[in-house]
Structure 1
């Protein structure tokens, strides 16, 4: 349970930070310093990358414990087929599945919390951008924040959460962004959310080739990566650049961020639906390679 809570917390942090990336687009447009905004955000993104690095081995160790427990209960010399089909191991698989769904739920929670904090972080990023220009380097900027955090937060402007009024205002505005890339954002987020989790669970379904199944997470994420790189990210970048060139209003970027955030939340929910089918797909591919 302790390991599960650690994985859930790390997952929430990863999705929290990834969702805050949307705030960077608003901040970059407001300050007219989009490249600087993304550069500063990369410092925060290192936290998510570190959390992601730690998360996978812990998840893998949980699966190893499930397999070891199953072998102990059914007998160490049983074949993989006998192990997987045994009643004791099936119960362990159900428990593992439930635990992984809790991890996916943590992804949804992290995304929702970040969505509520986007307005606050827009102001924080605005101040960080100007502070970076004053200090000239990220270490000096971070040092200034650590030395005088109250002054930094005060200078960042009013800190507030996303309110119903702002959401209604953005929602009522005529849709000025493509609907297709919002739909694809649900697919991309869903696949990314469950990619590694499904692959690791597939390892429990196919114990003899669990390493192969786990490494196939790259295949699961491959489709999402292609969609993100060819449709979602270029479209979001184009809308942001148009706002920078004043071909669009800032409200279009706000609307885009609102809908991207909502579809990201829906994407984590979609991950719950495709978790098991993706796991069995990975298992099938691993069986072909075995």
Structure 2
């Protein structure tokens, strides 16, 4: 396997892993009562994710330009999606551990009000010891709650669609350029066709609902258990949505080719 593809796979793994952990940030914010601080600390990881995204597309595009075989590249793209789905599963397993670490980070930052102290303490003996103590596995009871508790099925379905579109949104334009080499540059710039649908779903339906639910938990109108069930459902829909994008890669690639020809 080419070094470019290995790098892209690693970048996708990081992006998907951090994206999965993001679902637990609101829950930590509810528990600590410090939602803004929770997101501020998590933005350190999001910065890593954004850097990974900025390198992913150029590296993959450069590899495609040097290897124009559409059949072989379809397999490569599918492998990238599968690895992203695997990273999502891995992130779901890490959520309980990450919640404990972020919870402690929020408490420490609130007291010291220094990001540098927090980072330095994380690499100290006591910090490493605490990290080891935080390692845990997901509770089976939390997963079972999905079968007998109410959860926002509509929002979880929208999240499933949004994740599927976002996953394929960075790959379909590149593959469309393989199908129509003369319009490669146009195809790559049309990623907004796919990502736009996901953005609409997230902006209009998903994010407002999560924000209201977060406020309701803080105000005592909803329980933390209800919010946890919602987070579990969202993580599950992200996992399924990532793997479902395997079925969308070709259809959306041809859609982008069609739009490029029309334009």
Give the TM-score of the pair, scaled to structure 2: 0.95
Q: 8 Å contact 2:173–2:189 — kept in the other structure?
A: yes
Paired residues for 1:231-250 under 5 Å: 231-250=205-224
Q: Sort the Cα spacing of 1:218 and 1:50 in 2 relative to 1 into closer, same or farther, 3 A.
A: same
How many angstroms apart in 2 are the aligned matches of 1:240 and 1:149? Answer: 35
How many angstroms apart in 2 are the aligned matches of 1:159 and 1:226? Answer: 36
Q: CA shift at 1:137, angstroms?
A: 2.5
Q: CA shift at 1:152, angstroms?
A: 5.6
How many angstroms apart in 2 are the aligned matches of 1:241 and 1:286? Answer: 43
Equivalent residue, structure 2, for 1:163:
139
Paired residue secondary structure (1:42):
helix
Paired residue secondary structure (1:161):
coil
How many angstroms apart in 2 are the aligned matches of 1:153 and 1:22? Answer: 26
How many angstroms apart in 2 are the aligned matches of 1:21 and 1:230? Answer: 19
Q: CA shift at 1:231, angstroms?
A: 0.3
Equivalent residue, structure 2, for 1:118:
95
Equivalent residue, structure 2, for 1:211:
185
Equivalent residue, structure 1, for 2:79:
102
Paired residues for 1:250-289 under 5 Å: 250-289=224-263
Q: CA shift at 1:153, angstroms?
A: 5.0
Aligned positions, number: 262
Q: 8 Å contact 2:101–2:134 — kept in the other structure?
A: no
CA root-mean-square deviation: 1.5
How many angstroms apart in 2 are the aligned matches of 1:233 and 1:39? Answer: 17
Q: CA shift at 1:263, angstroms?
A: 0.3
Q: Sort the Cα spacing of 1:105 and 1:217 in 2 relative to 1 into closer, same or farther, 3 A.
A: same
User: Tell me, which stretches of 5 or more residues in structure 2 are unaligned?
Assistant: none
Residue 168 of structure 2 is aligned with which of 194, 199, 202?
Answer: 194
Equivalent residue, structure 1, for 2:14:
13
Q: 8 Å contact 1:127–1:156 — kept in the other structure?
A: no
Equivalent residue, structure 1, for 2:39:
38
Equivalent residue, structure 1, for 2:57:
56
Q: Determine if the alignment matches structure 1 residue 26 to structure 2 residue 14.
A: no
Q: CA shift at 1:36, angstroms?
A: 0.8
Equivalent residue, structure 1, for 2:194:
220
User: Tell me, which stretches of 5 or more residues in structure 1 are unaligned?
Assistant: 68-91
How many angstroms apart in 2 are the aligned matches of 1:36 and 1:12? Answer: 26
Give the TM-score of the pair, scaled to structure 1: 0.86
